[in-house]
Amino acid sequence: MSTFSKDVEPAREMDVIEFLDNLEKDNIQSISDGGDVFKGGKLKDGTQYEFVVPKHMSNTFYEDYLKEKLIRSRLNLLKVSLNLLRLGSLAYCLQYL
C-alpha cells in the first residue's frame, strides 16, 4: 500500500463525434497529443477525457478539425491581452502570453 496514492477519477472515454461536438460548443479546455491516433485532455468542467482518432482521419485530423480553432483561440487570447495592456495591467497580461 502506497502512502502517495490518490483517488484519481479515470478519464472519460468519448468517441470522435462527441469530441468534435464538445470542440464546436467550446467545451474543451485542453488537448493532449498522444500520437497519431490517441488524444486526451480536459473539458472546461474539469473532466479528463480521452478518445481515439479513427485511422481514416488520423493524417488530417489537426488540419481538418483543430488548426482553425487553435488559431482563433490564440487570437482571442491576444486580443484580451492587448486590452489588458491598454488598461495598464502589464504584469497580469504577461502571465497569459
> What CATH number has the domain bearing residue 48?
3.30.720
Alpha-helical (H) ranges within 1-97 are 16-24, 55-58, 61, 67-86, 90-94
Q: Is 85:77 a contact under the CB 8 Å cutoff?
A: no
Tens of pLDDT, residue by residue over 11-38, are: 889 998 999 999 889 888 888 877 666 7
Highest mean pLDDT among 39-43, 69-73, 83-87: 39-43
Number of domains into which the chain is organized: 1
In a domain, residue 91? The reply is no
In a domain, residue 52? The reply is yes
Tens of pLDDT, residue by residue over 45-59, are: 999 999 888 888 888
In a domain, residue 80? The reply is no
Does residue 43 have a pLDDT over 80? yes
* pTM for this model (two decimals): 0.63
What range does the domain containing 33 cover?
7-59
In a domain, residue 22? The reply is yes
In a domain, residue 75? The reply is no
